[in-house]
Amino acid sequence: MHKVLKNMVPVVEGIAKTYGNNCEVVLHETIDSKMSIVAICNGHVTGRSMGSPMLGIGTKNTEKKKTEDVLNYRNITSDGKVLKSSTMFIRDDSDVVIGCLCINIDISSLLVAKNAIAGLTCTDKGMEKKLEQIALTNVEQILKNIVEETLSIEGKPAKYMKKDEKINIVRKLDNQGAFLIKGAIEYVSEVLCVSRFTIYNYLDEIKNKKEE
C-alpha cells in the first residue's frame, strides 16, 4: 500500500466509529486505472470487503480520468439500500491520484422516517389562514401583536430598559391607539415590569410634552 494511503487507514476507522454502523468508509488504491479496497469499515452497508471494486460515480470518474471530488450524491445498492455518498480523491506529492476515500451512509430508514414525519406534520394551509384571520379579530390578540412588534423594534428585554426607553415604548403604543383597547394598561404594565399607575404617569408625561 502507498505510504500516503497507509496513513489514511486511521481516518477510515475514525470516521466509521464517529458516524456508526450505517456509515461505510472505504479506502481505495488505484492500480492500473482500477480501484480496489485496501481498507474498509462497516462493509455490510454495501456487502463489500478487502479487494472489492468501487461503486457508482467513483468508478465512472476514474474511467473518464476525472479526479474532482464528488460530494453528497445518491447511490443505490444492489439490494435496494439508498446511500448518501461522497468520493474524495487522494494524491501523492507529485499530485498524481493514488486512491480515494469514500463515505457511504445508509439513509434508507431515515427516508422512511422523513416521509412519516412529513405526513404527520402536514396541515391544511387553507385552514391555517382561516384560523389566523379568526385570531386577528380577537381584541386581546391585536393588543398583544402591537406590543410585541413595538418591543421588537427596541431590541432588548424590558428588564434591561431604562425609564426613558419604557416611556418611548408607551409613546409608540399610544400613537397606535393601543390604550383604547380594554385591558391595555394592565397588559403593558406586566410586559414592561412596572405598575399600572406607572403607565398612567408615563402617559401623563407624554401628554404634557405634547402640550408644551
pLDDT tens across 64-75, in order?
555 688 899 888
**Range list for CATH 3.30.450.20 in the chain:** 3-113
CA distance 17 to 42: 9
Q: What is the mean pLDDT of the chain?
A: 82
Low-confidence winner among 73-82, 114-123, 193-202 (lowest mean pLDDT): 114-123
> What are the tens digits of pLDDT across the range 160-203?
788 888 888 888 888 888 888 888 888 888 888 889 899 999 99
CA distance 3 to 23: 25
Architecture of domain 3-113: 2-Layer Sandwich (3.30)
Produce one character per residue of 84-107: b if its CB has 16 or more CB atoms within 10 Å, e if not: bbbbebbeeeeeebbbbbbbbbbb
Mean pLDDT, residues 125-149? 64
Q: Is residue 71 a contact partner of residue 120, using CB atoms and an 8 Å limit? A: no
